[in-house]
Amino acid sequence: MASWLSRLARHPTGLVGLIGTLLVVSVGVAAPVLAPNKPFALVAPPLAAPSRAFWMGSDALGHDLLSQVIHGARSSLFMAAVVSALVLIIGIVVGLVAGSGRAWLDDLLMRVTEVVQIIPRFFLALLVSAMFGAGTTRLALLLGFTSWPTLARIVRAETQTLTERDFVTAARALGSSRRRVLTREILPNVVPTAFAYLGLVVAQALLVEAGIGFLGLGDPNTVSWGQLAGEAQRFLRVAWWLPVFPGACIAFTVLSLNLLGDALADVIIRR
């Protein structure tokens, strides 16, 4: 673990990704201290362009966009954390067990995976937001519990491929138990793929949130990047700062996560 970290620190893009991710996390945590204004305070003239007073300008109602973006980091982080955790845990466990377990278990798990996978996620998010009311936590849980199938399938496919490989065959020939083979030999090989996929999942979660915001179904009591970006669509030609800053934040976060994921793949697998 420690050696991964030190190798990561020497990995140029990995370091950038790590710093970026940490930056987003700290902004989210320190939001109330960092933000010059409360997110819902009407402090600026409507649709003011970025200026010394309001670095990111203001929206049509007169909210300070900088403060909204800083506070938005919180709910976006929360969303990312919940979704990633659920996806990683469920996806890896299901994929490993299905890929290396007994045939009936594989069939069963793949059926469950398939059922979850084919329920259109965005449709579901829409349906739930529209009918039960919008809510960030609800959306995060929903996305977490429905986004894992792809990862599970990838992990399963990799596991199957790896199971046939020389070193695994060797390990089994040497008398390693199935569980030991799983955790010691296969899991480390699957983790990089999982991390590479995680950037995608988080990006998708933030984008689903944006899409929901675009369709006017976002949680009105919280500020989030996705929602800010979604609501800004109407103003695309009038106030460039409204879509650009929240969008840049989403891109920055996703980019950092991806660089980090790629670097982790490098340092863990291709040691």
Identify which of residues 56 and 128 has a Cβ nearer to another protein in the complex: 128
Identify which of residues 2 and 101 has a Cβ nearer to another protein in the complex: 101
- Rounded to whole angstroms, the Cα distance separating 160 from 105 reads 14
- Rounded to whole angstroms, the Cα distance separating 43 from 116 reads 45
Nearest distance from C-beta of residue 229 to another protein, angstroms: 6
Dihedral sign (CA 53, 56, 61, 63): negative
Nearest distance from C-beta of residue 193 to another protein, angstroms: 6
Among 95, 91, 77, CA closest to 226: 77
SS in 3 state form for 73-130? HHHHHHHHHHHHHHHHHHHHHHHHHHHHCCHHHHHHHHHHHHHHHHCCHHHHHHHHHH
Which stretches of the chain are assigned E, i.e. beta strand?
Answer: none
Identify which of residues 52 and 164 has a Cβ nearer to another protein in the complex: 164
Nearest distance from C-beta of residue 55 to another protein, angstroms: 20
Dihedral sign (CA 145, 68, 196, 15): negative
Nearest distance from C-beta of residue 69 to another protein, angstroms: 15
Nearest distance from C-beta of residue 211 to another protein, angstroms: 5
- Rounded to whole angstroms, the Cα distance separating 146 from 134 reads 17
Identify which of residues 2 and 23 has a Cβ nearer to another protein in the complex: 23
Identify which of residues 82 and 201 has a Cβ nearer to another protein in the complex: 201
Q: Exposed, middle or buried: residue 32 (CB in 10 Å: 0-12, 13-18, 19+)?
A: exposed
**Cβ-contact 88, 151 below 8 angstroms:** yes
Nearest distance from C-beta of residue 125 to another protein, angstroms: 9
Nearest distance from C-beta of residue 2 to another protein, angstroms: 24
Query: Which two tokens mark 234?
Result: 């109407």
Nearest distance from C-beta of residue 270 to another protein, angstroms: 6
Identify which of residues 2 and 164 has a Cβ nearer to another protein in the complex: 164
Identify which of residues 2 and 10 has a Cβ nearer to another protein in the complex: 10
Among 73, 29, 35, CA closest to 228: 73
Among 193, 106, 97, 113, CA closest to 145: 113
Identify which of residues 11 and 74 has a Cβ nearer to another protein in the complex: 11
